[in-house]
């Protein structure tokens, strides 16, 4: 199963649209994980139209678009727990890992978050954390980034893409 992992679209407040090559990756994916900050109902509607399947959470810029703060989905034998990661940069990894641990139904979940606009693939306190950065390159990012993942039988392979 192929997964597109994105966050921090910020459309239309900071950027106009997702770059074409990233849109192609999103459309080709079996499932899309979006870690929040769509920035508008139109950006969410566009993502729903692009994605075959979408799991998404709200970010601090999404107070009224009807998404949960935390969501979980099992794909290819891997549990993904999404949260935006809203708050101070200080303690970000610990905060996200705690949310993932508290929300997970399995022993080895993968956390997907955004907010910082910085790519991250690390482990914190035993929890793998993925942050795909900003899919549009919205400030403070210096480039557009996203991740793709392949999952099968509980194994996960992740690749970062940038423009």
**pLDDT by residue, tens only, the chain of 163 residues:** 999 999 999 999 999 999 999 999 999 999 999 999 999 999 999 999 999 999 999 999 997 899 999 999 999 999 999 999 999 999 999 999 999 999 999 999 999 999 999 999 999 999 999 999 999 999 999 999 999 999 999 999 999 999 9
Look-up of token digits 């900071």: 14
3-state DSSP of the chain: CEEEEECCCCCCCCCCCCCHHHHHHHHHCCEEEECCCCCCHHHHHHHHHHCCCEEECCCCCCCCCCCCCEEEEEECCEEEEEECCCCCCCCHHHHHHHHHHHHCCCCCCEEECCCCCCEEEEEECCEEEEEECCCCCCCCCCCCEEEEEEEECCEEEEEEEEC
- 20-28 and 41-50 helices, crossing angle to 10°: 60
Rg of the Cα trace of the chain? 14
The whole-model pTM stands at 0.97
Q: Which domains does the chain have, with CATH numbers?
A: 2-162 (3.60.21.10)
Predicted local distance difference test score (pLDDT) of residue 147: 98
Predicted local distance difference test score (pLDDT) of residue 64: 86
Q: How many Å apart are CA 157 and CA 25, to the nearest integer?
A: 16
Strand order in the sheet with 145-152: 54-56, 31-34, 2-6, 145-152, 155-162
């Amino acid at each position: 199963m192929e997964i597109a992992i994105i966050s921090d679209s910020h459309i239309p407040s900071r950027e106009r649209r997702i770059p074409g090559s990233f849109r192609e990756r999103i459309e080709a994916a079996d499932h899309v994980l979006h870690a929040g900050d769509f920035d508008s109902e139109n950006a969410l509607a566009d993502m729903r139209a692009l994605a075959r399947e979408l799991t998404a959470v709200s970010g601090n810029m999404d107070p009224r678009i009807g998404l949960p703060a935390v969501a979980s989905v099992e794909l290819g034998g891997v549990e993904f727990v999404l949260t935006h990661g809203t708050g101070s940069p200080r303690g970000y990894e610990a905060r996200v890992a705690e949310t993932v641990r508290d929300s997970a139904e399995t022993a080895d979940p993968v956390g997907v978050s955004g907010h910082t606009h910085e790519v991250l693939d690390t482990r914190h306190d035993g929890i793998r954390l993925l942050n795909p950065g900003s899919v549009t390159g919205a400030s403070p990012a210096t480039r557009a980034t996203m991740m793709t993942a392949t999952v099968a039988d509980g194994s996960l392979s992740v690749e970062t893409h940038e423009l």
